[in-house]
Structure 1
Amino acid sequence: MEPTPTRRVWPFAVAFAVSLVLLLSPGSGSPPPFAGADKIVHVAIFAGLAVAGLLAWRAPARLAAALVAYGAAIEVAQGALPIARSADPLDLLADAAGVALGMALGLAIARFGLRRLARLGTPLVADREHSVRHDHGCIPGGRAR
């Protein structure tokens, strides 16, 4: 049984809300624990968004473009808002790297059949043929099972 569309979107909605809080909260003023720690946070956040997005939607190219645009918007907001944060082009690069990592991970989940994790959402891109056969009682090309 396929999850409802709302259930497929919840992981992404939660990840998106968490990303907003983490990326737009006022800066703490304390130095990071090590150089580049903030870049690792950006990669992890955007990888999580990409995996959750792939579970919800089947358009990886559009999702990747939207997430990179979201990363750019976050950087503009960090530079414009009085939250003791600054815009950093390297953060945007880390966001894009996180999107690429998350896309690779999400597509690998689909390719290697880790269906238990993928069942949190819709069948991923590589699972379309299975869902067509399962949902419509025929295989692509119109032949009955």
Structure 2
Amino acid sequence: MSPTARRRTRHLVLAAAVLVQLVVLYVPRVPDVGAVGVPGADKVVHAAVFAAVTLAALRAGLPTVPVLVLVTAHAPLSEVLQHQVLPGRSGDPADVVADLVGVALGAAAAWWLTARAARPAAVRAAGPGRTGRDP
């Protein structure tokens, strides 16, 4: 894939992740995720949407510090907005914690993928702990 196509794809993935996050966080009435019988499913969803946006933004090449500041600030802001503005929604401090866990996971995944891609192909092919060079 050409660098231009890769960049375009990463920006589309970011747009999709932001759209999903906005729907999950700001639809006035949502189905009760806890009703699926999985304890903590709501927290997993919160962590996943914040991880996806963070990972996609960093992989799209956006500057790290502004991305982390914005997604970190969005976590408590989204809960305040849910509580104050959206009918049928309430803010939950535990959701903020789940959101911030998602930010950390997304940033860690972006770092790992970037570091992995930066390694020479011979080292990647040799496997973990190997240099890809003859002894």
Q: Give TM-score scaled by structure 1 length.
A: 0.69
- Structure 2 counterparts to residues 79-90 of structure 1, below 5 A: 79-90=83-94
- The corresponding residue for 1:27 is 30
Alpha-carbon distance in structure 1 between the residues aligned to 2:39 and 2:80 = 22
Alpha-carbon distance in structure 2 between the residues aligned to 1:34 and 1:8 = 32
Runs of 4+ residues over 3 Å off in structure 1: 4-8, 29-32
Alpha-carbon distance in structure 2 between the residues aligned to 1:88 and 1:104 = 25
Alpha-carbon distance in structure 2 between the residues aligned to 1:29 and 1:2 = 42
Deviation (angstroms), 1:83:
2.9
- Return 5+ residue gaps in structure 2 as ranges: 121-135
Matched residue count:
115
Query: Structure 1 residues 22-31 or 67-76, which shifts more?
Result: 22-31
Alpha-carbon distance in structure 2 between the residues aligned to 1:14 and 1:101 = 18
Alpha-carbon distance in structure 1 between the residues aligned to 2:78 and 2:114 = 29
Inter-CA distance 30–38: structure 2 relative to 1 (3 Å threshold): closer
Q: Give TM-score scaled by structure 2 length.
A: 0.74
Contact kept? 1:47, 1:102, Cα under 8 Å? yes
Alpha-carbon distance in structure 1 between the residues aligned to 2:33 and 2:52 = 25
DSSP 3-state at the match of 2:57: helix
Alpha-carbon distance in structure 2 between the residues aligned to 1:92 and 1:13 = 22
- The corresponding residue for 1:110 is 114
Alignment partner for residue 64 of structure 1, among 62, 68, 92? 68
1:11 has 2:16 as partner:
no
Contact kept? 2:34, 2:40, Cα under 8 Å? no
Alpha-carbon distance in structure 1 between the residues aligned to 2:62 and 2:34 = 40
Contact kept? 1:68, 1:92, Cα under 8 Å? no
DSSP 3-state at the match of 2:43: helix
**Residues 43-85 of structure 1 deviation map (CA, whole Å, 9 limit, x = unaligned):** 1111111110012234222211110112222111110123311
